[in-house]
Every structure is written in C-alpha cells, then in structure tokens.
C-alpha cells in the first residue's frame, strides 16, 4: 500500500496566561535552601551524554485524600500551632556563616559494627542516620524533655510504582518521613531503638500515603476542590537552623557513579559544596578503596567541633 503525505500541520499548544511554571503540592513542602554539589571526574570519557527524562500519561485519579495532611505537611485551617510544634518566637536564627560543613568517613568495618549493635536488622541508612541523630542531639545539649525529630526524604516514585523514570532518578515526588522522641529517650536509648524509629517513620509514608498526598494536592492546589485558602507549609527553614531536628537524606542508591555528563570519566569524588542549614545530614557511598560511607553534616559551628570528637564513639 502506497502512503502519501497530503498535508503536514503543527498543532500549537494552548496559550498560557503566565510564563511561570506552577508549583505542585510537592514543591510547597520541599526545603527552601539550595545545595551546590561538586562532582569530580577522571578523564577521558569516550561516551556521549545521556539524559533521563520522564514521560506523562498518568491515568485519572480519584480525588479523595485518605489521610489528613493539614497539621502535618501543612498548617491547619485556623493556623493554630507553630511549625513543627515549636514556638515561633523561640526559634533561633543562625547566620549561614556560622554553619560548619563536616564530612565524616565511616569505614565498612565501622558500619558493620554499628549494624551489629543495632541487632543487625536495619539498613545501612537507617543505622547510620540513627547514630548521627543521637550524636547531634547529644552535642546540642537539648533539655531532657525537648522533642527532636529526624526527617527523611522518601522517594514517591518507588512507592507509587511509576515506571516513567529509573528508580535512581530522585526528585519531584518527595515527602519527608518524620520520627520523633524526647532528647532523653534518644540519648539514653539504644542504637536499635533509634534505628527502629527511623524505620517506622519511613515505612509510614507508603503507597497509600503518597496517593493521598497527590489527591490532597489535586483538591487544594490544582483547584479541583474549589478551595481558595492558600496552603501554608508546616515546615519552614528560613531561620537557617533545624534544631532540635535533623534532616537526613540518603544518596546511597542514586548510582551517582554511573553519572556521565560527556566530559569526564569515572566519578572520582562527590561532595555538597556548601549547605547553610544547621541539621542537614547526607549519607553517601564512599568512593575510597576500602568502601564504607561518607556522612556530610551541616551543623552550627559551636556544636560541630564537639561532634567530631564523639562521631566515632559507639554507645
């Protein structure tokens, strides 16, 4: 059968009222600070660049939020209560110049011993995050009854089973999983107790919770629910300090060693250049010969020096 092209036509996209890209519900609860990351590659590279892009076409969602997200990710309607349960007037402001950035190297043997002390049933990230959370809480000198939380960024792509991008593509679909305890409970409890808290918080943000958050965004952000009251995130990091809390992110499975920008060879080093937010922790795979993990910590400098002296002690 012969095929002939009779006419070609480009269908223009509909006109937009604004050139700005609208925020999604995930953007509203994302951290507001920016992180510069340094990558070092060994030359040469014989391969061409490879770029990963997502694709659309998701089916329609039933717009009904299963969980209540006001009072957790967002402030309640009445605005009563301060962000993260803290008195806004008591929030300490730390100048970015006072935040020190540390890099702790935990060799494979050290990580293995930590996991053994945590009863051997928790992941490397859960165990190391719990260990660092305990140490940071100790050096901060919090009151015994003060509440402290560790917030972990959870990748919703794996939770929702979306096959649009590889599992290692991290971004755009992130919710913080939060686990909390009093300073006394955390510092006097075992490493296994702390790791159990981290795991419980992560597992609570499951597929159902992510779907509920997407539906909540459709109702209150995308206009499906007709709500006119703007959403205000419950978590705000403008003062530059997360204390008494800690944000712990895992870069262990991002497969950054496979990153190829077309102008370098094997990944030889990676490090966040400067994070101006006290309480940020990033757990990364070590590229050293002996393996292990690298733990990047941004901490108020008055606490950073003390952390380096106890970071390698085991409870």
Residue 13 has pLDDT above 70, yes or no: no
pLDDT of residue 39: 60
Which residues are CB-contacts of 275 (< 8 A; sequence separation ≥ 6)?
33, 35, 99, 101, 296, 298
- Name the least confident of 128-132, 196-200, 209-213: 209-213
Beta strands in 157-277 (DSSP E): 174-182, 246-250, 267-274
Which of 14-28, 50-64, 89-103, 190-204 has the largest mean confidence? 190-204
Query: What is the phi/psi pair of residue 74, to 5°?
Result: -125, 155
Residue 131 has pLDDT above 90, yes or no: yes
- Residue 273's closest CA among 296, 250, 292, 257? 296
62-112: per-residue pLDDT in tens?
Answer: 456 665 656 566 666 565 544 444 544 445 677 888 999 999 999 999 999
Domain residue ranges in the chain: 25-45+69-87+100-310
57 vs 92, more confident? 92
Residue 297 has pLDDT above 80, yes or no: yes
DSSP 23-84: PPHHHHTS-----EEEEEE-S---S----------PPP-----SS--BTTTB--TT--S-GG
Residue 128 has pLDDT above 90, yes or no: yes
- Name the least confident of 152-161, 184-193, 216-225: 216-225
pLDDT, mean of residues 48-53: 32
Which of 144-153, 169-178, 271-280 has the largest mean confidence? 144-153
Query: Could you tell me which residues are beta bridge partners of residue 298?
Result: 101, 280
Which superfamily does CATH assign the domain made up of 25-45+69-87+100-310 to? Chloramphenicol acetyltransferase-like domain (3.30.559.10)
Bridge pairing between strands 246-250 and 280-285: parallel
Query: Could you tell me which residues are beta bridge partners of residue 102?
Result: 297
What letter would DSSP give residue 17?
A: S
Angle value at C-alpha 29, between 25 and 35, nearest 5 degrees: 120
Give the pTM.
0.74
Mean pLDDT for all residues in the chain: 77
pLDDT of residue 73: 62
pLDDT, mean of residues 255-265: 65
Burial class (CB in 10 A: 0-12, 13-18, 19+), 165: middle
Burial class (CB in 10 A: 0-12, 13-18, 19+), 242: buried
Number of DSSP helices (H) and strands (E) in the chain, helices first: 8, 8
């Amino acid at each position: 059968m012969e095929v002939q092209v009779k006419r070609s036509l480009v269908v223009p996209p509909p006109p937009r009222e604004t050139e700005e890209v609208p925020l999604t519900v995930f953007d509203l609860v994302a951290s507001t600070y920016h992180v510069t990351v340094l990558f070092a590659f060994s030359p040469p590279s014989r391969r061409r660049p490879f770029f990963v892009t997502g694709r659309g076409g998701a089916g329609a969602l039933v717009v009904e939020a299963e969980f209540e997200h006001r009072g957790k990710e967002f402030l309640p309607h009445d605005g009563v209560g301060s962000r993260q349960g803290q008195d806004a007037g008591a929030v300490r402001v730390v100048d970015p110049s006072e935040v020190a950035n540390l890099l702790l190297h935990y060799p494979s043997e050290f990580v293995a011993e930590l996991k053994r002390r945590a009863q051997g049933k928790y992941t490397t990230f859960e165990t190391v995050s719990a260990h660092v959370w305990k140490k940071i809480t100790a050096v901060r000198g919090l009151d015994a009854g003060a509440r402290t939380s560790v917030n972990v960024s959870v990748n919703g792509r794996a939770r929702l089973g979306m096959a649009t991008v590889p599992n290692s593509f991290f971004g755009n679909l992130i919710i913080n999983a939060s686990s909390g305890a009093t300073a006394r409970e955390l510092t006097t409890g075992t490493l296994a107790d702390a790791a159990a808290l981290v795991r419980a918080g992560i597992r609570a943000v499951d597929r159902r919770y992510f779907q509920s958050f997407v539906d909540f965004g459709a109702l209150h952000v995308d206009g499906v629910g007709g709500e006119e009251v703007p959403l205000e995130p419950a978590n705000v990091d403008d003062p530059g300090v997360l204390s008494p809390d800690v944000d712990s992110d895992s870069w262990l499975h991002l497969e950054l060693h496979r990153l190829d920008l077309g102008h370098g060879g094997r990944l030889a080093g990676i490090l966040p250049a400067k994070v101006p937010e006290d309480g940020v922790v990033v757990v990364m795979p070590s590229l050293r010969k002996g393996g292990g993990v690298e733990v990047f910590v941004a901490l108020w400098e008055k606490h950073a020096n003390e952390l380096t002296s106890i970071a390698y002690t085991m409870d």
